[in-house]
Homo-oligomer: A and B are copies of this chain.
Amino acid sequence: MEQSFLAYLRGRCRSLPQVAVGIGDDAAVITPDSGALIACTDQIIDGVDFVSAEHALADAGYKAMAINLSDIAAMGAVARSALVTLALPKQKATQIAGQVYEGILEAAEEFQVAIAGGDLSTYDGPLSITITLLGHVPVGSAWLRSGAKEQDAVLVTGNVGGSILGRHLRPVPRVALAAELRELVEVHAAIDISDGLSLDLDRLCAASGVGIEFDTASIPIHDDAILLAEQTGRSPFEHAWSDGEDFELILTMSQADADLALQSSCGYELTQIGKTIGRTGLWKREGTKLVRLSPQGYMH
């Protein structure tokens, strides 16, 4: 199938100036952007990260792009081009590839990412989609997990929890919000929530050598977490605390910058959920005492 499908793809992929040579040579030639190169890769597999019997394959394709876009946004970077690798079940391989690509091309168009190349295989196994996303950021200014400072404000975008009810297939990568914040404030550290708010925040804290004092009441609980709690018997808070695949961003910055961001035009998409402290770990204040909280989430 490969040659004929590649010919079809070349027709479908819009040519964008960032790709000088795209699909069809031994490798892609990409016009360099200024700054450092940012690269990430994420793979999603039928039966693990989505269920093809229940979801449209275009949604799986969209998700594969969106979770990589979320990683790029979490670096404060701009995505420019993508390499797409599909491992396809032998039966109906071309049809499946076509449907997956509908979602990939939709996301590529929406976020102005060029499909620069990729690979296709058929095998005895479930559909697997691996996307490598390339982007750029001014040298020395990527948002790392390790950049948080003591007394930083800790903010989260959107609302969290219960994404398993369907949102996880069509996450909104926080590309636009990240770009706005980049202009407005100095973000010290960032991570995207793939495995759970508390677990990913714990990773950010560990990388930065700080802890966090939560204002747990302020955690923005998604309506889906409330709905899901009715089914699971767990509390909406527990779902917001530990559910994965929100693909929201956790950001730290000075309190002055946080106040500025919260008052800005994108402020309604941001919530301050605590501040960093010198003592490592996750904490909440009860009266005059700090009580330790356990990070929870999806462990690979």
Contact = CB atoms under 8 A, between A and B. Distances in A.
A88 to B, nearest CB: 11
A29 B300 contact: no
User: What bracket does the count of chain A residues touching chain B fall in?
Assistant: 35 or more
A77 interface: yes
Interface stretch (A130-138, A161-169, A224-232, A251-259): A130-138
A134 B81 CA distance: 13
Interface in A61-87: 71-72, 74-75, 77, 81, 83, 85, 87
Contacts of A24: 145, 207
Interface stretch (A32-40, A215-223, A267-275, A285-293): A32-40
A126 B122 CA distance: 12
A126 B2 CA distance: 21
Interface string A20-36: 11001111111110011
Contacts of A53: none
A243 interface: no
Contacts of A74: 26-27
B119 A43 contact: yes
Contacts of A121: 43, 45, 48-49, 300
A126 to B, nearest CB: 6
Given A21-B144, A48-B121, A299-B3, A130 B43 contact: yes
Nearest to A32: B37
B71 A27 contact: yes
A145 B26 contact: yes
Interface of A: 1-3, 20-21, 24-32, 35-43, 45, 47-49, 71-72, 74-75, 77, 81, 83, 85, 87, 116-126, 128, 130, 132-135, 137, 139, 142, 144-146, 190-192, 207, 299-300
11 contacts: A1-B300, A25-B145, A25-B207, A26-B145, A27-B77, A30-B36, A39-B83, A42-B119, A123-B126, A125-B126, A130-B130
Given A27-B77, A29-B38, A47-B123, 8 more contacts: A1-B300, A2-B299, A27-B40, A28-B38, A29-B142, A32-B35, A120-B300, A130-B130
